[in-house]
Amino acid sequence: MSSAREDILDAVRRAQGRGSRDAPTRATLDARITTPVRHLRPAFDEDLTARFIRKLESRSGTIARVDGRAGIPAAVEIFRSAHGLAPRAAVGAGLKDIDWPADWTIHHDRAGIAESLSVSPAFAGIAETGTLMLLASPESPTTHNFVPDNQVIILETTRILRHFEDAWAALRKRTGGMPRAVNLVSGPSRTADIEQTIQLGAHGPRRLHVVLVDSA
Amino acid sequence: MDIRSREFQPRAVAALHDASLQQALDKARDGFVAKRAVQVAELSEFEALRETAKTLKDHVLDHLDHYLERYEAAVVAAGGQVHWARDDAEARRIILDICKRVDARTVTKGKSMVSEEIGLNTALIDAGLTVVETDLGEYIIQLAGEAPSHIIAPAVHKTREQVSDLFEKAHGGPRLTEIADLVDAARLALRERYFQADVGITGGNFLIAETGSSLIVTNEGNGDLTQTLARVHIVTAGIERVVPTLDDATLFLRLLARSATGQETETYTTLSTGPRRAGDLDGPEEYHVVLVDNGRSRMLAGPFRQMLRCIRCGACMNHCPVYGSIGGHAYGWVYPGPMGSVLTPLIKGLDAAYDLPNACTLNGRCASVCPVKIPLPDLLRRLRHEQFKQAITTLRRRRALAAWRLLATRPKLYHAFERLAARALAAIGGRAGRIRRLPGAGGWTEGRDLPAPPGRTFLERWQTERGQS
Ligand code: SF4
């Protein structure tokens, strides 16, 4: 019995009245994969950072802006105390170098079921839609992005890119290729499944707070 | 899922008389249409993107075998496994085998229309597994024991009162009535499930040949919790879902969010590439993709291949007056509305879904909003034609069509008949000019009057008026 794989590929070819593509055609198609076709992108002339902030806020994200990495702990502390959260956080190991307040309980493991606050580093921001790009790794575990009720993301202002395609280009340049998970996050979790009414905090974080770091 | 499309007519009538359903549909309809319109108006490139998306999808379909092979190779290179399923039964078997091998007890699921298409839940439950739908809409209908009635808003037919009832029964009291409380209750009920899950099953909006990634979009984050916390992640996707590159996927994402939920982007877009890597603290230990054909390769030959461009956004049903009046369940299978009326007969057979291509006014709104420019009314017309050719059309309708042809191809006879009909209707209409009951058109006149024609045909009036000028 032939395999399902061969049967399906055969059926696809037969439906188009042909056999396998010949070598030159295959080479052309492969080149289209290695050198992506550039499509039309939404044009805008707004400042990238201003747009990123405007778009993210329009989707219920909040933003704090600090000068240099030294300002990060204070910004996270303001967010934490404003929402009355316990001084405990799952912090991506990519942010190990930060001087977190001494009275906090910090760990760099994945987020467990009782986790209420996570802090993770973003790989890039995308101005087009106010979207954050997070890459799965021990430095930024994926559970941090979905399990806790409160998600804080650290983003360097210089990492704000114009379009999604610019973020893909940055990914392609990175060593190690495609990460296991790429999470594009554009706000806190939401649903409109009951009577089309938007409700935040469906399954993922109820709050998304971004600390934008300007280089000092 | 069993198909009940043959019962379309009685179910459509029942839907029209279902007060809760009508209330739910009223709320939904305008929201979807208005939100999409705002987003489309804000993106001046929208029309150009539609055209590019159509061309790109056609390119992929032309070379589908090659892109599937490239995609498969990339998945394998990232440590994932690809399985091919010729039909629904084979897809179910593949997934059951994986569940058995890893000793699974609990399966969590993100929203996946392909899993509905292959009837996965019943198969898993019959095999003794606990299946938990995690998308809020899917969770609601799972509690209700129903099928989705919309491809992106599965519980759109439920009112808040009905959700309150379902939750009270499932979670116990007190009865919750606020939407925020209901959402919280579901969140709480599902939280532990994510962590208990052995296998997490999601759909795949796009499969990217460049990187071997599967891509999902959600607003709730349920798909991500499903696939991150389970030991094994299984993606189910139709073979037409492959795109060459990340940039190509982006083109579709720009159209998808605007067309589906009327947003610039959904909250979460996630690309998954293989299983957990060395050093990773989370993520699944195994990553599988089940590529499902189930009639798709057959569609590639001939005019219906255009249907394979569909990105499952739901815009066609949101803009369909028939769907808007009867909801999704009357269509009797997984895919409702215009796209379902084309897909269901193609996948399940012209006979099994006889009424669907005929339940359309050919008003064309669906085609005008479809982000990949599928000419849905044309395809529906072709399906009617196929039904006629294959003699599936009912005898009564065939006779009526034959009589019509007799008239329509003989102008003199046609005009004579028309004159007769115009005068007869005018006489029935009487002074009021309205017809309350018309033999043979009871369904039409039940809810409204038929305005009677003025007694002379259009041609007669035309000739008189031209004669005057
Ligand atoms: S047919 Fe077009 S409008 Fe309908 S779901 Fe598919 S892509 Fe969307």
pLDDT at B469 over 60: no
State the Cα–Cα distance between residues B148 and B140, nearest whole angstrom: 10
Q: What are phi and psi of A90, to 5 degrees?
A: -90, 115
Query: Which of the residues A33, A113, A128 would you substitute to probe the B interface, choosing the one with the greatest number of B C-beta atoms within 10 Å?
Result: A33
On chain A, the residues whose CB falls within 8 A of the CB of B34 are: none
Please state, for a pLDDT cut of 70, what percent of chain A lies above it: 99
Whether residues A89 and A182 share a domain: the answer is yes
Whether residues B165 and B289 share a domain: the answer is yes
State the Cα–Cα distance between residues B108 and B197, nearest whole angstrom: 6
C-alpha gyration radius of chain A: 22
Please state whether the peptide bond connecting residue B154 to the residue before it is cis, i.e. omega within 30 degrees of 0. no
- Burial call A124-143: b when 16+ CB within 10 Å, e when fewer: bbbbbbbbbbbbbbbbbbbb
**Residue in A202, A193, A203 with CA at minimum distance from that of residue B32:** A193
Query: How long a stretch of residues is chain B?
Result: 469
**Would you tell me how many other CB atoms lie within 10 Å of the CB of residue A216?**
9
Helix (H) or strand (E) holding A210: strand A207-214
Chain B closest CA to A160's CA: distance in Å? 17
Which 238-277 residues of chain B touch chain A by CB within 8 A? 239, 244-248, 250-251, 253-254, 261, 264-277
State the Cα–Cα distance between residues B415 and B460, nearest whole angstrom: 10
Residue B69: its pLDDT value, please?
Answer: 98
Mean pLDDT over B288-316 rounds to 96
Q: Does B225 touch chain A (CB under 8 A)?
A: yes
Structural domain harbouring A72: 48-214
Contact B70, A24 (CB under 8 A): no
Residue B350: its pLDDT value, please?
Answer: 87
Q: Which of B362, B390, B418 is the last residue of a domain?
A: B390
Residue B309: its pLDDT value, please?
Answer: 98
Helix (H) or strand (E) holding A211: strand A207-214
Distances (CA, A) of B163 to A77, A193, B80: 39, 10, 39
Binned at pLDDT 50, 70 and 90, residue A216 comes out as: low
**Residue in B112, B70, B120, B51 with CA at minimum distance from that of residue B91:** B120
Residue B193: its pLDDT value, please?
Answer: 95
**Which pLDDT tens digit goes with each residue over A161-215?**
999 999 999 999 998 889 999 999 999 999 988 988 889 989 999 999 999 999 8
Distance A93 CA to ligand 1 centre (A): 43
- The answer to whether residue A154 is domain-embedded is yes
Whether residues B86 and B49 share a domain: the answer is yes
Range B376-383, long-range pairs (CB < 8 A, 24+ positions): B376/B316, B376/B338, B376/B339, B376/B341, B376/B342, B377/B338, B379/B303, B379/B304, B379/B306, B379/B307, B379/B342, B380/B338, B380/B341, B380/B342, B381/B357, B382/B303, B382/B304, B383/B341, B383/B342, B383/B345, B383/B346, B383/B350, B383/B357
On chain B, the residues whose CB falls within 8 A of the CB of A208 are: none
Encoding tokens for residue B190?
Answer: 């599902």
The residue contributing the CA closest to ligand 1 atom 6 is B310
Angle (CA) B126-B132-B133 rounded to 5° is 115
Whether residues B109 and B225 share a domain: the answer is yes
State the Cα–Cα distance between residues B285 and A53, nearest whole angstrom: 37
Residue B465: its pLDDT value, please?
Answer: 83
Distance B314 CA to ligand 1 centre (A): 6
State the Cα–Cα distance between residues A127 and B191, nearest whole angstrom: 32
State the Cα–Cα distance between residues B449 and B362, nearest whole angstrom: 22
Contact A193, B136 (CB under 8 A): yes
Q: Does B144 touch chain A (CB under 8 A)?
A: no
Whether residues A22 and A65 share a domain: the answer is no
Distance B371 CA to ligand 1 centre (A): 7
Which 343-372 residues of chain B touch chain A by CB within 8 A? none
Q: Does B52 touch chain A (CB under 8 A)?
A: yes
Chain B closest CA to A42's CA: distance in Å? 6
Whether residues B379 and B413 share a domain: the answer is no
Structural domain harbouring B381: 312-390
Binned at pLDDT 50, 70 and 90, residue B443 comes out as: low
Mean pLDDT over A124-129 rounds to 98
- The answer to whether residue B421 is domain-embedded is yes
The 3-state secondary structure of A134-172 reads EECECCECHHHHCCCCEEEEEEEHHHEECCHHHHHHHHH
Residue B444: its pLDDT value, please?
Answer: 67
**Which pLDDT tens digit goes with each residue over B256-295?**
999 999 999 999 999 999 999 999 999 999 999 999 999 9
Amino acid at A16: Q
Whether residues A66 and A130 share a domain: the answer is yes
Encoding tokens for residue B10?
Answer: 């009685």
DSSP string, B389-425: HTT-S-HHHHHHHHHHHHHHT-HHHHHHHHHHHHHHH
- Measured between CA atoms, the residue of chain A closest to residue B250 is A164
- The answer to whether residue A43 is domain-embedded is no
Whether residues A23 and A60 share a domain: the answer is no
- The answer to whether residue A42 is domain-embedded is no
pLDDT at B173 over 90: no
**DSSP state for residue B306 in the 8-state scheme:** G
- The answer to whether residue B302 is domain-embedded is no
- The answer to whether residue B303 is domain-embedded is no
State the Cα–Cα distance between residues B416 and B433, nearest whole angstrom: 22
Whether residues B383 and B456 share a domain: the answer is no
**Would you tell me how many other CB atoms lie within 10 Å of the CB of residue B204?**
22
Domain CATH for A151: 3.40.50.10420
Q: A137: which residues sit within 8 A by CB, 6+ positions away?
A: A94, A179, B279, B280
Distance B29 CA to ligand 1 centre (A): 16
Atom of ligand 1 nearest to the CA of B313: 8
Q: What is the mean pLDDT of chain B?
A: 92
State the Cα–Cα distance between residues B124 and B107, nearest whole angstrom: 9
Whether residues B417 and B336 share a domain: the answer is no
pLDDT at B98 over 60: yes
Q: In B102-215, which residue ranges form alpha helices assigned H by DSSP?
A: 113-117, 120-126, 136-144, 160-171, 179-196
Query: Which residues line ligand 1 at a C-beta cut-off of 6 Å?
Result: B 259, 310-316, 339, 370-372, 374
Whether residues B272 and B354 share a domain: the answer is no
Mean pLDDT over B216-220 rounds to 95
Mean pLDDT over B97-112 rounds to 97
Residue B461: its pLDDT value, please?
Answer: 84
Query: What domain count does chain A have?
Result: 2
Residue B386: strand, helix, or coil: helix
On chain B, the residues whose CB falls within 8 A of the CB of A8 are: 68, 84, 86, 239, 291, 293, 297
- The answer to whether residue A40 is domain-embedded is no
- The answer to whether residue B241 is domain-embedded is yes
Say what the ipTM of the complex is: 0.96
Residue A192: strand, helix, or coil: coil
Q: Which of B320, B355, B390 is the last residue of a domain?
A: B390
Q: Using the structure block, give the residue that is written with the tokens 């990460």.
A: A179
Whether residues A84 and A15 share a domain: the answer is no
Atom of ligand 1 nearest to the CA of B259: 8
Residue B394: its pLDDT value, please?
Answer: 73
Query: What domain count does chain B have?
Result: 3
Whether residues B173 and B89 share a domain: the answer is yes
Contact A143 B191 (CB under 8 A): no
State the Cα–Cα distance between residues B206 and B215, nearest whole angstrom: 5
Contact B107, B197 (CB under 8 A): yes
Contact A162, A127 (CB under 8 A): yes
Mean pLDDT over A100-116 rounds to 94
Please state, for a pLDDT cut of 70, what percent of chain B lies above it: 98
Q: B251: which residues sit within 8 A by CB, 6+ positions away?
A: A39, B49, B52, B53, B56
- The answer to whether residue A199 is domain-embedded is yes
**Residue in B233, B203, B198 with CA at minimum distance from that of residue B118:** B203
**Residue in B372, B367, B264 with CA at minimum distance from that of residue B39:** B264
- The answer to whether residue A119 is domain-embedded is yes
Encoding tokens for residue A96?
Answer: 């190990």
Whether residues B63 and B181 share a domain: the answer is yes
Mean pLDDT over B449-466 rounds to 82
Q: Cα-Cα-Cα-Cα dihedral of B328, B330, B336, B342, to 10°? A: -160
Whether residues B80 and B175 share a domain: the answer is yes
Whether residues A29 and A56 share a domain: the answer is no
Domain CATH for B179: 3.40.50.10420
Least confident of A44-48, B348-352, B374-378, B449-453: B449-453
Query: How long a stretch of residues is chain A?
Result: 216
Whether residues A65 and A114 share a domain: the answer is yes
Please state, for a pLDDT cut of 90, what percent of chain A lies above it: 92
Contact B401, B363 (CB under 8 A): no
Among B316, B376, B379, name the best residue to mutate to test ligand 1's pocket (greatest count of ligand atoms within 8 A of Cβ): B316
Whether residues B76 and B218 share a domain: the answer is yes
pLDDT at A1 over 70: no
Distance B312 CA to ligand 1 centre (A): 5
Beta bridge partners of B328: none
Beta bridge partners of B132: B108
Higher pLDDT, B350 or B209: B209
Query: Which of the residues A3, A7, A39, A110 would you substitute to probe the B interface, choosing the one with the greatest number of B C-beta atoms within 10 Å?
Result: A39
Q: B190: which residues sit within 8 A by CB, 6+ positions away?
A: A203, B132, B134, B139, B222
- The answer to whether residue B119 is domain-embedded is yes
Whether residues A28 and A114 share a domain: the answer is no
Whether residues B117 and B182 share a domain: the answer is yes
Whether residues A210 and A158 share a domain: the answer is yes
